[in-house]
Structure 1
Amino acid sequence: MKGKPVQGRMTADGTGELVVFLIGMRINSWRAVRSWLPVFLAMPGMIKELARDRERGMLGRRIVPGLRNFGVLQYWESKEKLLAYASDQGGEHRPAWAAFNRRARAGRGRVGIWHETFVVPAGSYESIYVDMPPFGLAAARGVVPVARRGERAAERLAA
């Protein structure tokens, strides 16, 4: 976690709909480096592209490391912006997706990929961070004192 802890009880700033997107890969055969390494190396380029151009809609992200599974937790402004990025012919994603499909056919299951998308309506999420550096949704949207959005989780969920 980067940054200094923000003292006190904080919550993530912002309201409205939120999209949580989880994406990752699983190495099914460690010896099949030619199958999984290009998949692994494609993600940093996409993340850099999205971080450079905030208008694309990614609010923030967090790497989720693992031994065999690697993933990225992403927060997006809207499902429309997420889908627009996924289908953008000029972006990093489309060539990476096409290359993965070619390798997947040839690799016969040596690497797997997955993603999950959650569209979270306004008023259906809340957060609290106590003496923490900005983390998760707070790192994506910024932090405000808990009192601004409600002292209790039920109040923040009703907002």
Structure 2
Amino acid sequence: MKTFSIAALLAATTLAVPALAQSRTVTLSTTLKNYGGDGAYLAVYLTDAKGAYAGTLWVAGGKAKYYKHLSEWNRLSSGDAARLDGVTGASVGEGRTLKVTADLADALFDAGYEIHVDAAVEDMRDSPSEIRVPLTLAGAGKPVGGKRFIHSFTYQAQ
């Protein structure tokens, strides 16, 4: 299981969290379909209530030259791969599950923020915002299906 703290998130993004804010540990699970291709690159990120980029939670896929195929994330984050230190890992094979744990400020829940997952697989169509789900306490634990490569996505908030 991949884990990181809010310190890594702050170092990697422009997401501002008040110093004394309460936070929750959130586990994000993304299970891929058996789509018959190479490992998937995934970008897991947040947008705010206005749809503006709020921060990257995780990028699965080790070669930055392919991040352009995570098109919605790449566009919103301005392709700033320099902010990804500590929030990247290997691509995810078909049928496999990526689990990422993050500490997110309580103020982000039920405040219009959304979790997005972009997906791309070599020699297959890219899938921007394949997952797009509101970050709410009520939505925690409820699986959401993807459009192309992702079988299911859930997040648990503790």
Task: Give me the TM-score of the superposition, normalised by structure 1.
Answer: 0.34
Task: Give me the TM-score of the superposition, normalised by structure 2.
Answer: 0.34
When you count strand as a share of all residues, which structure comes out higher? 2
When you count helix as a share of all residues, which structure comes out higher? 1
- Tell which has more relative contact order, 1 or 2 (C-alpha 8 A, sep 6+): 1
Query: Which entry has the higher C-alpha Rg, 1 or 2?
Result: 1
